Chain A
Amino acid sequence: AQTVTQSQPEMSVQEAETVTLSCTYDTSENNYYLFWYKQPPSRQMILVIRQEAYKQQNATENRFSVNFQKAAKSFSLKISDSQLGDTAMYFCAFMRLLKGAQKLVFGQGTRLTINP
């Protein structure tokens, strides 16, 4: 079974700073997807970024980028120029690349607070 671990329950940074959230996972699969989702106080789960394990290039979406280390089974999220609207719970998630395996396995989350 796959497991996802987020070792930082809470983080807090000042607006405009850069912050990195950590995520490690355990799997025997070779092909899979990794995701970061954010859940603001409204509780709406929003997809931030996605990484395919077969791609060596790290995914980037505007101010959000990942550092994907497949051998180390590490998948960290970097938020540059953080904004107040980035305040949210951030979840790292794993999904197998297998027909019919449409199941996300989530970490416990990191509560990120951006201070003005």
Chain B
Amino acid sequence: KAGVTQTPRYLIKTRGQQVTLSCSPISGHRSVSWYQQTPGQGLQFLFEYFSETQRNKGNFPGRFSGRQFSNSRSEMNVSTLELGDSALYLCASSFGTGYEQYFGPGTRLTVT
């Protein structure tokens, strides 16, 4: 069974630009969660989607948004990039509440 895939793996953007990251969950998984990992703040929850609906949202500004498609694939968008948005963005999928989350390899975003 294929694992969680994330594209692109690496990305370099300039301040003020916007970026879209993609996540394809494990087949059959309907929940997709996004996390930001930085050396200073550690791993922080961004949001979670289940059956195309956002169920949970972390404490991030409105510049961070996401969506989920009918095939459970999810995208995360960050507008008006800031230097502090440089991070590893991890996507995780699961069957739903109470099930383990399986992580993708991450997208390394660098904002210059």
Chain A contacts for B58, CB-based, 8 A = 103
Give the number of residues in A that approach B within 8 Å (Cβ atoms).
24
Residues on B facing A (Cβ under 8 Å): 31, 33, 35, 42-43, 45, 48, 50, 55-56, 58, 88, 90, 92, 94, 96-98, 100-103, 105-106, 108
- Say what secondary structure dominates the interface of chain A: loop
Segment of A14-22, A41-49, A70-78 in the binding face: A41-49
B42/A104 in contact, CB under 8 A: no
A44/B55 in contact, CB under 8 A: no
Annotate A77-116 by CB proximity to B: 1 below 8 A, 0 otherwise: 0000000000000010000011111111111110000000
Q: How far is the CA of A85 from the CA of B57 in the complex (A)?
A: 35
Given B35, B88, B96, B108, which contacts A104 in the complex, CB threshold below 8 Å? B35
A43/B105 in contact, CB under 8 A: yes
Chain A contacts for B50, CB-based, 8 A = 100, 102
Chain A residue, CB-CB nearest to B56:
A103
Residues on A facing B (Cβ under 8 Å): 33, 35, 37, 42-47, 50, 91, 97-109
Q: How far is the CA of A45 from the CA of B35 in the complex (A)?
A: 11
CB distance from A115 to the nearest CB of B (A): 24
